[in-house]
């Protein structure tokens, strides 16, 4: 399958080039030229097949021309090594737990898949790839874990200083080997700007082969559609309308859901749940997309003022504002509302949720308050284990959160990071010198 740039539909490249370059040479993001429709027999019998089988069938639609079945199966088998259970809160609301991977965040799905794909595509090339990834928290740890010790690939992670949780910082700064962490004196948007500028710098791209590992990269984004289908497979009464609430920052997760919808997943409505960084809800209110500086919140992985994947959402819907509004509801919530939601979910359902999932819960509640549904299948994506935000959750609930062993192990390791300004020349000089 060919992929085109969101800036120019005539700018076509192969899957291999889209993955290894990460971003188009005109600054756009890559999109598949078509979203294949999955056979109805696949959708109708989905509850009879495993997550690995679901993943293979979807991946083959996009990558089957350049990855043979054997290679694709190897990648799936080494990527999908953990579950994504649908946990009911009541008869209508469910939590899709996406934190059972190695770094306890949903990004483990896409990061490990992308690392395996890149390793396969690069195996016959006599060159080193340098991955640049901006992170507002969980992307960094997932990418670091996914690419750790992968031959022929070095990773440079950029994260905003003092704007990620302590546990997140420990996860992305303690591995060493082929992973370098840059602590940027700025916001996530500054980190993302530095990465995008680097890809467009011809002097830099001549010096080394650059690629991305954010949801900018199609190999990170597309695997996230797997668990939307898997969530549907776990629903008992599939005749009820399916409403999915997605905690949203850079909008990669929501975009993957929209891809799933285009492939045939019967989603009645998507909900883009945001914190105080509300550029998307404002867009749905006014039809004007106005970039704003990001502000720090308790749900820090969503602290994005200029979401990259908005360009993909526009392209996927032919820049049709009314069509986007028809598919997506969006609302924003404050830190105080987030804290109240954490308390409410524990009190009503005896479930401990992280701040991002709490925002997803609030948006689902608001949507249902404004719309009359007698019965439904509501799915709220829980994108990270609450232990990753233990300081917040424990202060709200006044009780200890159990920390999984694989998370405990990184807390005693030494932080290794390099402080850098948000000035592009400083970043460029670092890449050239390294």
> What CA–CA distances, in Å, run from 409 to 391, 399, 413?
17, 22, 7
- Average pLDDT over all residues of the chain: 92
Asked if residue 281 belongs to a domain, the reply is yes
Asked if residue 363 belongs to a domain, the reply is yes
Strands 30-32 and 129-134: unpaired
Which one has a higher pLDDT value, 355 or 135? 355
Find, among 330, 331, 355, the residue nearest to 342 by Cα: 355
Q: Is 107 a catalytic residue?
A: yes
Could you read off the pLDDT of 363-387 as tens digits, one per residue? 999 999 999 898 999 999 999 999 9
pLDDT, residue 410, reads 79
Find, among 128, 134, 279, the residue nearest to 197 by Cα: 134
Structural tokens at position 427: 């970043």
Instruction: Confirm if 145 and 102 have CB atoms less than 8 A apart.
Output: yes
Could you read off the pLDDT of 201-217 as tens digits, one per residue? 989 888 888 888 777 88
- Among 30-44, 159-173, 341-355, which stretch is predicted with the lowest mean pLDDT? 159-173
Percent of the chain with pLDDT over 90: 67
Structural tokens at position 409: 């192990």
Domain span at 259: 83-106+221-404
Find, among 38, 25, 84, the residue nearest to 64 by Cα: 38
CA dist., res. 235 & res. 242, Å (int):
9
pLDDT, residue 200, reads 87
Asked if residue 89 belongs to a domain, the reply is yes
> What CA–CA distances, in Å, run from 110 to 76, 105, 219, 222?
11, 10, 7, 7
CA dist., res. 214 & res. 312, Å (int):
14
Angle between helices 424-433 and 188-199 (to 10 degrees): 60
pLDDT, residue 420, reads 95
Q: Give the mean model confidence (pLDDT) for residues 50-77.
A: 92
CA dist., res. 416 & res. 182, Å (int):
9
pLDDT, residue 126, reads 66
CA dist., res. 158 & res. 135, Å (int):
6
DSSP string, 388-433: GGHHHHHHHHTS--PPPHHHHHHHTSPP--EEE-S-HHHHHHHHHH
Marked catalytic residue, from 9, 16, 60, 107: 107
Instruction: Confirm if 401 and 354 have CB atoms less than 8 A apart.
Output: no
pLDDT, residue 428, reads 94
- Among 14-18, 308-312, 355-359, which stretch is predicted with the lowest mean pLDDT? 14-18
Instruction: Confirm if 195 and 201 have CB atoms less than 8 A apart.
Output: no
Asked if residue 274 belongs to a domain, the reply is yes
CA dist., res. 419 & res. 132, Å (int):
16
Asked if residue 15 belongs to a domain, the reply is no
Asked if residue 359 belongs to a domain, the reply is yes
CATH of the domain at 331: 3.40.50.1100
- Among 78-87, 201-210, 393-402, which stretch is predicted with the lowest mean pLDDT? 201-210
Could you read off the pLDDT of 122-181 as tens digits, one per residue? 776 667 888 898 887 667 778 888 888 888 889 999 999 988 888 888 888 888 889 999
Report the number of distinct structural domains present in the chain: 1
Structural tokens at position 51: 């997550």
Structural tokens at position 152: 């022929």
Asked if residue 278 belongs to a domain, the reply is yes
Q: Give the mean model confidence (pLDDT) for residues 262-277.
A: 97
Asked if residue 172 belongs to a domain, the reply is no
Burial of 253 (0-12, 13-18, 19+ CB in 10 A): buried
Angle between helices 226-233 and 51-63 (to 10 degrees): 140
- Residue 239: pLDDT over 70: yes
């Amino acid at each position: 399958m060919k992929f085109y740039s969101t800036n120019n539909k005539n700018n076509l490249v192969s899957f291999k080039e889209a993955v290894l370059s990460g971003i188009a040479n005109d600054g756009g993001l890559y999109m598949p030229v078509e979203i294949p429709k999955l056979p109805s027999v696949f959708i109708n019998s989905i509850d009879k097949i495993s997550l690995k089988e679901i993943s293979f069938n979807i991946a083959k639609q996009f990558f089957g021309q350049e990855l043979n079945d054997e290679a694709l199966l190897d990648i799936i088998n080494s990527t999908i090594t953990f579950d994504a259970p649908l946990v009911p809160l009541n008869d209508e609301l469910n939590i899709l737990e996406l934190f059972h991977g190695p770094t306890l965040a949903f990004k483990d799905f896409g990061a490990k898949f992308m690392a395996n794909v890149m390793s396969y595509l690069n195996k016959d090339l006599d060159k080193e790839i340098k991955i640049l990834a901006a992170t507002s928290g969980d992307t960094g740890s997932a990418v670091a874990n996914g690419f750790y010790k992968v031959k022929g690939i070095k990773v440079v992670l950029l994260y905003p200083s003092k704007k990620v949780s302590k546990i997140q910082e420990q996860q992305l700064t303690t591995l060493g080997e082929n992973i370098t962490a840059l602590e940027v004196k700025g916001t996530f948007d500054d980190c993302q700007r530095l990465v995008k500028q680097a890809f467009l710098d011809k002097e830099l791209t001549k010096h080394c082969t650059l690629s991305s590992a954010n949801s900018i990269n199609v190999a990170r984004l597309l695997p996230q559609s797997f668990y939307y289908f898997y969530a549907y497979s776990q629903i008992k009464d599939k005749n009820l309308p399916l409403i999915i609430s997605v905690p949203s920052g850079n909008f990669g997760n929501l975009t993957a859901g929209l891809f799933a919808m285009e492939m045939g997943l019967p989603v009645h409505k998507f909900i883009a749940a945001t914190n105080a960084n509300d550029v998307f809800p404002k867009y749905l209110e006014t039809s004007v997309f106005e970039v704003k500086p990001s502000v720090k919140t308790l749900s820090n992985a969503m602290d994005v003022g200029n979401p990259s994947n908005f360009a993909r959402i526009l392209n996927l819907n032919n820049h049709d504002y009314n069509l986007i509004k028809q598919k997506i509801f969006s609302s924003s919530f404050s830190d105080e509302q987030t804290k109240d939601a954490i308390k409410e979910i524990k009190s009503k359902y005896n479930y401990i949720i992280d701040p991002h999932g709490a925002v997803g819960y609030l948006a689902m509640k608001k949507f249902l308050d404004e719309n009359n549904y007698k019965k439904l299948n509501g799915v709220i994506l829980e994108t990270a284990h609450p232990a990753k935000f233990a300081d917040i959750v424990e202060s709200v609930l006044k009780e200890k959160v159990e920390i999984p062993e694989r998370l405990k192990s990184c807390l005693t390791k030494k932080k290794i990071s390099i402080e850098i300004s948000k000035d592009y020349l400083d970043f460029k000089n670092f890449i050239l010198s390294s």
